[in-house]
Amino acid sequence: MSSTGFQPALAGHRGRAASGIGSWVETAAAWLLAALWAAPILYAIWAAFHPSEYATRFDLLAPWTLENFVRAWEAAPFPRYFLNTVLLVAFVTGSQLVLCTLAAFVFARSTSRLMGVLFALVLVQLMIMPDMLIVENYRTLRGLGLVDTLFGIGLPYVASGFGIFLLRQTFRQVPRELEEAARMEGCGTLAILWRVYVPLAKPTYLAYGLTSVSYHWNNFLWPLVITNSVETRPLTVGLAVFASTDQGIDWTVISAATLLTAAPLLLAFLLFQRQFVQSFMRAGIR
C-alpha cells in the first residue's frame, strides 16, 4: 500500500484523538463547574448538622446533631416567614398566569396593527430590570397606602412581559382548525381558551410557573425595601435579619436557617426534576 493510502487513515485517527481530548476537557469543565456550584450547599449541609466547633473543620468522626435547626427555628419567627412567602408566591404566580394567559391569547389571535404596537411595548418591559423601578414603585405604593403589606410586595409583579411573550409564542402554534371546531361545538371565546389553548400549553405553564415561583421565593431587594415588620417579611428578608451581626454570627445556626429557607425548592426539584427538564425542553422547542 502506498503512503498516500495511510494519509486518510492518519487524518481520521488524529481527528478522533482531538475529539476525544475535547470531550475530556468538556467533561472536566462540567465537573469543575458542578463542584463550584455545589460547594456552598455542601458546606451549609455540613455546618447545619454538626456542632459549632466543627463548622470550619472537616472530621469524618464528628457527631451529628439537629440542635442547630431547633435553635434557628426558635430564634426567629420562621413559621410566619414561611406563611408570608407562600401567600406571596401564590398570589403573584396565580395573578401572572391569569393575566398573561388573557393577554397572550389576544396578542396571538389578533391581526390588528394596534395589537402589534402594544405587544412591542410589552416586550420593552423585558429590557427594564425590576431594580431600576424600585424608587417609583415605592412612591406609588406609598401613595396607595400599601407599604408593608403582602399585596404591596406582589403588586408590581402581577403582570409579566416574559410570561406574555412565552404564552403568546405557544398559542400561535395552536392550529386554527381546533378553534374553529370548538366554535362549531358551541364554545365561546373563554371556553375555547380554557378547553383548547390552555391544555395544549401545559408544558409552557409548568416551565414559566417554576421560574416565577423560584424567582419570587428568592426575591430579596424589593421585599427588603417595602417591608418593615415581621407580619409581612418573607423568608429572604427574615433570614437576612436573622443572620445580621446584631444576632451574633454562628455559622452552624445560620446554615441551618439557610437550609430551612431553601428546603422547599430543593425538595421540589429533587422530586420533580424529570418533569422540570421535560417542561423546559418542550417549552423551548416551541
Which residues in 19-153 belong to E strands, given as ranges?
none
Q: How far apart are CA 99 and CA 160, in angstroms?
A: 8
8 compared with 71, residue with greater pLDDT: 71
218 has pLDDT over 70: yes
What percent of the chain has a predicted confidence (pLDDT) above 70? 86
Q: Quote the pLDDT of residue 15.
A: 56
Please tell me the predicted confidence (pLDDT) of residue 18: 59
Q: Is the pTM of this model over 0.85?
A: no
Q: Does residue 285 carry a pLDDT above 60?
A: no
Residue 37: is its pLDDT beyond 50? yes
pLDDT in tens, 66-120: 898 988 888 889 899 999 999 999 999 999 999 999 999 999 988 888 888 889 8
Tell me what the mean pLDDT of segment 40-46 comes to: 88
What pLDDT shows up at residue 237? 92
Q: Choose among 212, 258, 245: nearest CA to 43.
A: 258
Q: Would you put residue 71 in left (φ > 0), alpha (ψ -120 to 50) or beta?
A: alpha
Sign of CA dihedral 137, 143, 146, 151: negative
Q: Show the cell assigned to 212.
A: 416565577
Least confident segment among 6-20, 150-164, 252-266: 6-20
Instruction: Label residue 112 left, alpha or beta by phi (over 0 means left) and psi (-120 to 50 means alpha).
Output: beta
Mean per-residue pLDDT over the chain, rounded:
84
Cα dihedral: 77, 78, 82, 85 (round 10): 70
Whether 245 shows a pLDDT value over 70: the answer reads no
- Say yes or no to pLDDT of 124 above 60: yes
CA distance 264 to 145: 32
239 CB-contact burial (10 Å; exposed 0-12 / middle 13-18 / buried 19+): buried
